[in-house]
Structures are given as structure tokens and as C-alpha cells.
Amino acid sequence: MNNLGYIKSVHGSVIEAVFEENLPSINNKLIMEKQNDIIFEVIAYVDENTVQAIALTFTIGISRGDKIIDTGHTLMVPVGKEILGKMFDVFGRQLDGGPEIKNPILKSIHQKPVPFSKRSTKDEIFLTGIKVIDVMTPLAKGEKAGLFGGAGVGKSVLITELINNVAAKMNGYSIFCGIGERSREAEELYREIKEAGVLENTALIFAQMNEPPGARFRVGHAALTMAEYFRDVERKDVMLLIDNIFRFIQAGSEVSGITGKMPSRVGYQSTLASELSELEERISNTETGSITSIQAVYVPADDFTDPSATHTFSHLSASVVLSRKRASEGFYPAVNILDSSSKMLSLNVAGERHYKIANKIRMTLALYEELKDILAMLGIEELSPDDRKVVYRARKLERFLTQPFFTTEHFTGMVGKFVSLEDALEGCNRILNDEFTEYEESDFYMIGNISDAMMKREERMKGENQTDSSK
């Protein structure tokens, strides 16, 4: 705390500070002498006595000549089992108003990735209990998956359901990282997780939309430090959910702009690729534990050629693309199966049965997509008998791959369903084999296992018989 300097200049959220004795290291935390709650992080050297630092808090009240203290360390956050059930900000301060952690274990948010020699090379599927994901875009344990979509297509709802399923069915730990979240969303998510009874296995960390770009830029690193402790010390499999990785890129763009760097393509920072890699490469699995990350990726104006989307794609093992068209048709989760992909859906990893069923579903839906124009213009009567069967199969599959969620029960009134991979594959296989030609399409909508369709049909038939008898 003795390394004292003074502010030479202030440019909005960026300052230049002079330290005549000891120059602080890059990423060191600086605090104001008169206001300890104003925090900066060193980002560059200007000359042999001057550093450039970015504010991680609001800077109201500072001026040139003010004394500033080099703390001698980087930003630190609490780690360990004590953080579960609590909500934090980027500085590791609790936001939930609960009892403070006594004697917390603190770790720097800046850590090096696990070297390749210590990583696990096994390919293992991470099951979620959500039919369309487990069957068509299986997630890789210890790797990264992206939920791509524009505003309002269901990214945050899907993430909330994943937290619920991992905690309730698998007794796993989850770390939720909100980058640039609205304060309303953060509060609602905390309440939903608490009501679902899975808060004690979850830690939440937020840098909200109204906070300075420096805080939003560093909260992802803070969340990773928490997850790495569970993987490396507690030797657990942990799920890291990030909502939204685009806001991280956006915060980096703002930091780059206010520090005076020249923008690159479409106005993004020239360091976009290296900044994203610095975050993403820390997510990996070892022989004793893993971090599986599921990241919501906002796609600006639904343009998948935007640099933020293309750079994120390169880090992912699975891409789950959410479609506004499917959401408008009432298919939830609104996954566009033909645009989504996963490297786990291979013969060696998924197994022959899973691989063949998924391929048949994809071929059926692709053919249905081609036939849609004819259907719209001429109607189903003009199709050949074989094409008609394809249409009926595809429409039933589309509805079977919808699912009621636990976290939306109070909105929809439908009880949530957790579906095992075996049950999901069995249902899809039986639909592909035309075992349900007598069934209505509505029998398959928003159900869990295929047995639910049978129960739905029985209830519908009873209702129809009672209607007929009353007439």
C-alpha cells in the first residue's frame, strides 16, 4: 500500500498516473487514496514513470493531481464452496444481501490456461435432458457450446433451464456469468433459480449494463477463476454459463475506443481475436475435472457474418442456432436444427444408433424444407405418396422435439420435463418408422417421452367420445 502515485490526466474512464518509485505491473489494481471505492486496472505503459489505467467503477469526483495507490496485486475474487448460493460483482463483493463469507479464499482473475499436456483427450457427451440438444447438437464435456440468436428468441430461458437440469438432476455446480445484463434480468434470474431450489449449487456473478466497460470486460475472467477452482482444487465437473459473450466483445470494443486505439472491421477492436482467445482458452477439461461452458451469443441484426459471431464460432465444439421463425411458430426451444451443428455427432463418439437417427431426422427435415414451397402453392394433395409421408414425419418430429421447461411452468402452465437421451432417441426412431400414422400432430407438441403422446391421444379420444355421446 506504500506505492503512491498521482493522476496526471483524466480522459473519461481512462487515466494516466505517474509512479516515480515503483511502476505497477500490467493488470495491477489501483485505488484512489481519498475514495477507496474508485478502482482502476493498469492496461498499458506510457513511459518509464507513467501508466495508463481504465476505471472499473464510476469516476465522479477525481481530478488531476489526486493521489492514487498501487495495491501490488490484480483484481481478486472469492472461490470455493462458500461462494455457492451467492451473487457477486466483478470485485467479489456480495450483491444478494446475505451473510458475508468469513475468511474467503481469494484468487486473481488473471490465470493462465491449462497446458495441453495436462488436458484430457477423451470425447464425452454432456447430457442436458433437453431432447433437441441431446439428439441433434450434443454438447461436449469440458468444451464450449454457443447459443446463437437475435433478441427475444429464448437464449436466456434455455440457459436458465440448463442450470436447473444440471443442479436438480446431476447434482453439479454451475457458475452463471452475466456480462452486460439488465438489472431486471439479473434479479429475475436470481429469484427463478432460488424458487427452483437449485441456488445452493449455483454461484452468480454480474457486471450489469449500466456499469463501466472495464467492469463488463473483466467479469468473464472473474467467473472463470471461480470455475477453475472447482475444477482444479475440488476436482468437480462444473458448468459455466455466460450470458452474453457478445457483450464481452462489445465491452472490449468500448475499452479499445476510449484508450484511443484504431478500430478494425465493422468498427470492432483490432484485438478482438486475441481478447476472445484469452477468455475462451481457459475453458477446458483435465483428467480430474472439467469446465463445460454454454454461452449465449447475441447476433447483431441476425447477421451471422458479423465479426463477433464468426470469431466466436471458431472456439466452439457445438453451435445451437435459435430461429426467430421457429419461435414465432411456437416451437420451443426454437432451435433451427439444419443450421445447428456439433462435432460430437460423429460415429465414434455418439455411437452408430444415435448417429443414424440424427442423420435421418436431418434428412427428413431438409426434404420437408424443400417441399414447403410446393405445399404453400399447391397443397399436400399434389405431392407423391412418399413425399406426403416425409411431410407427416417431419411435422411430427418438429413437434416432438419441443419440450416444456421447468423454469417456464409459471408462464405456460405446463409441467417441465427432463428427457433422457435413450428416451429421446426411441421416440424419434419410432416416429421415423411411421409407428404413429394414426396420431394427430398436436399429440406430439410440448411433451416429454413418447409415452406422453400416447396418453395425450387417449385423453383426446375420450374427450371426442364424450362430445359425440352428448350430441
Which one of the listed residues 181, 211, 228, 280 is annotated catalytic?
181
Tell me the three cell numbers of residue 468.
359425440
Interatomic CA distance for residues 215 and 207, integer angstroms: 6
Handedness of CA 397, 401, 402, 403 (dihedral sign): positive
List CB contacts of 377: < 8 A, sequence separation 6 or more.
Answer: none
Question: Catalytic site residue 235?
Answer: no
- The reply to whether 155 belongs to the active site is yes
Helical H runs in 295-449? 307-313, 324-328, 347-350, 352-378, 385-400, 409-412, 421-432
Question: Any residues with CB less than 8 A from the CB of 376 and at least 6 apart, and which?
Answer: none
Contact status, residue 237 vs residue 172, Cβ threshold 8 Å: yes
- Examine the residue annotation and report whether 181 is marked as an active-site residue of this protein: yes
What the block records as the C-alpha cell of 437 is 400414422
**Burial of residue 454 (number of CB atoms within 10 Å: 0-12, 13-18, 19+):** middle
Q: Grid coordinates representing 345? A: 455427432
Any residues with CB less than 8 A from the CB of 191 and at least 6 apart, and which?
none
Per-residue burial over 248-258, b if 16 or more Cβ lie within 10 Å, else e, is bbbbbbbbbeb
SS3 186: helix
Type of residue numbered 421: L
C-alpha cell at 393: 414425419
Contact yes or no for 240/211 (Cβ under 8 A): no
Catalytic residue among 182, 184, 325, 353: 182
Eight-class DSSP state of 100: P
Going by DSSP bridges, is the β-strand pair 87-88/290-298 parallel, antiparallel, or unpaired?
Answer: unpaired
| Buried-state track 70-108, b at ≥16 Cβ within 10 A, e below 16 | beeebbbbbbbeebbbbbbbbbbeebeeeeeeeeeeebe
Pull the grid cell for residue 143.
468444451
285-324 core/surface letters (b: 16 or more CB in 10 A; e: else): beeebbbbbbbbbbbeeeeeebbbbebbeebbbbbbbbbb
Annotated active-site residue in 155, 216, 417, 456: 155
**Residues annotated catalytic, as ranges:** 155, 181-182
